[in-house]
Amino acid sequence: MGELLSQYDVLGAFLVNIELTLWAAIGSAVLGVVLMVMRVSPISSLRSFAAAFVNIVMNVPLTLIILACSLGVYGELGVVVSGRSGDQWLARNSFWLTVIGLSVYTSTFVCEALRSGLNTVPPGQAEAARAIGLSFGQTMRSVILPQTLRGAVAPLGNTLIALAKNTTVASAAGVAQAASVMSDMFEFDPQHLLAIFAIFAIGWTIIVLPIGLITTSLSRKLAVAR
């Protein structure tokens, strides 16, 4: 196992997965909140658009979305999101296009997780906010969203875990990360099959297990007794 670790940059590959997870988590959180607000908006056109967006994107394979960003946005439209400076600009561009694809896909699950948290907020909260003259935006920002987040910690944690594992699809866009390194190891060192499995199983456990433990703990601490 030590020979494999010295021959292949496994740690660097996992760091790419972590970076993809962090940036996509931020992007999907922002877009997911916007979609959730649109889905409960008093404006019917916004509700319809958000519902259609969520239902369509959620049911499209993630690999297809990543390929659309890589081959469509860059390959066909020529969109560059990282600048063309330096020797590694193409790799950086693929990285950020992958982040965009992951963010768009995961935002639909964030939206649904937040909607599940919204169901834990008593309807009287919104009615009381409207009674004292708060607008829809003020009600969502000051009253509904804080309580929604408390009720959505567990499903959001599950979404984050799924996002971390979904970063392996980045290999479809040519981003070198854990899945692509593992593929190279299987190809060039198949005699170490069990050791390779062990390395990546341990690596993903180290990444995923803390997320589950932290979100479970937060969910228990922030749960509101009814």
pLDDT of residue 120: 81
pLDDT at 112 over 80: yes
44-73 residue pLDDT tens: 999 999 999 999 999 999 999 999 988 888
Q: Is residue 29 predicted with pLDDT exceeding 90? A: yes
Long-range CB contacts (within 8 A, 24+) of 166-171: 166/62, 166/102, 166/105, 166/106, 167/16, 167/17, 167/20, 167/21, 167/24, 167/98, 167/102, 168/17, 169/62, 169/63, 169/66, 170/16, 170/17, 170/20, 170/66, 170/95, 170/98, 170/102
Confidence band, pLDDT 50/70/90 cuts, at residue 98: very high
Residue 129: is its pLDDT beyond 70?
yes
pLDDT for 226 equals: 52
The per-residue pLDDT for 90 is 83
Q: How far apart are CA 168 and CA 162, in angstroms?
A: 11
User: In this predicted structure, what is the pLDDT of residue 100?
Assistant: 94
| Closest to 173 (Cα-Cα) out of 20, 8, 31, 58 | 20
Cβ–Cβ under 8 Å, residues 120 and 70: no
Tell me the average pLDDT across 32-40.
92
Model pLDDT, residue 223: 66
What whole-number distance in Å separates Cα of residue 134 and Cα of residue 115?
21
**Does the pLDDT of residue 148 top 90, yes or no?**
no
The pLDDT tens digits of the residues spanning 81-97 come to: 877 777 778 888 889 99
